[in-house]
């Protein structure tokens, strides 16, 4: 059953060896030469499965991978029983929001300290399970990088996700995320990343102003 169709891949809920699983299928792109398209999709499928593994090594829960099919660009992985953070964050008490947001920040910190960039940090890609653990999903845009810029972009995307989906509580949630993040990466690195976020926001304002004045 198709549950999500994206620009790069479709997500299916399937039955596999007697259990519910998620199958992520990377879609062929007709505008690319077929052989090149196959190589790109195979590479990205392998790369995402590796990132899911690296995240686990960093102490961040991700779905268990059952099978990687490079020929068809498929990943079959665990179906996570739980609720998207997006669906519950607005309804939590202030204390619960604070704790959950700090926890999210700690997990992002664990990724970044290992130079893992998620690439799409939104509350839609975080699932809270029955045990109170947050599982990060969809590393399709992720990469390994030491670049401060990409870590800043990762957290800037998180901030934008709060502003667009949880605008009434966005500021308090993001502050809590940065608090948890700092606990993991340390004051020195956190300060550099926060400064990079401000720089990225400044660029965005400059471009917006140029468009209005033009």
Structure tokens at 116: 């893992």
Summarised one tens digit per residue, pLDDT across range 192-212 is 999 999 999 988 654 444 444
Nearest CA to 118 out of 203, 186, 52, 45 is that of 52
Instruction: Report, as residue numbers or ranges, the catalytic residues.
Output: 120
Alpha carbon distance 77, 91 (integer Å): 30
Please give the CATH architecture assigned to the domain spanning 82-213: Orthogonal Bundle (1.10)
Give residue limits of the domains in the chain.
Answer: 2-78, 82-213
As to burial, measured by CB atoms within 10 angstroms (0-12 exposed, 13-18 middle, 19+ buried), residue 115 is middle
Determine the angle formed by the axes of helices 148-165 and 170-185, rounding to 10 degrees: 150
Whether the Cβ atoms of residue 101 and residue 176 lie closer than 8 Å to each other: yes
CATH classification code of 2-78: 3.30.200.20
Whether the Cβ atoms of residue 84 and residue 126 lie closer than 8 Å to each other: yes
**pTM across the whole model:** 0.91
Alpha carbon distance 120, 66 (integer Å): 23
Summarised one tens digit per residue, pLDDT across range 68-124 is 999 999 999 999 999 999 999 999 999 999 999 999 999 999 999 999 999 999 999
């Amino acid at each position: 059953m198709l549950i999500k169709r994206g620009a790069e891949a479709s997500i299916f809920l399937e039955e596999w060896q007697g259990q519910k699983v998620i199958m992520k299928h990377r879609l062929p792109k007709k505008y690319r030469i077929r052989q090149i398209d196959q190589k790109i999709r195979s590479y990205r499928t392998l790369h995402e499965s590796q990132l899911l593994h690296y995240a686990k090594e960093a102490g961040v829960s991700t779905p268990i991978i059952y099978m990687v099919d490079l020929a068809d660009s498929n990943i079959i992985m665990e179906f996570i029983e739980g609720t998207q953070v997006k669906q519950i964050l607005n309804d939590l008490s202030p204390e619960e929001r604070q704790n959950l947001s700090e926890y999210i920040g700690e997990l992002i910190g664990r990724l970044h300290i290992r130079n893992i960039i998620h690439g799409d940090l939104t509350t839609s890609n975080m699932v809270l399970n029955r045990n109170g653990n947050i599982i990060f999903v969809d590393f399709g845009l992720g990469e390994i990088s030491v670049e401060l810029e990409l870590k800043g972009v990762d957290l800037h995307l998180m901030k934008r996700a709060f502003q667009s989906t949880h605008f009434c509580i966005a500021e308090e949630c993001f502050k809590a995320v940065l608090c948890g993040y700092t606990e993991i990466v340390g004051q020195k690195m956190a300060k550099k990343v926060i400064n990079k976020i401000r720089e990225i926001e400044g660029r965005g304002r400059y471009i917006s102003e140029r468009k209005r004045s033009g």
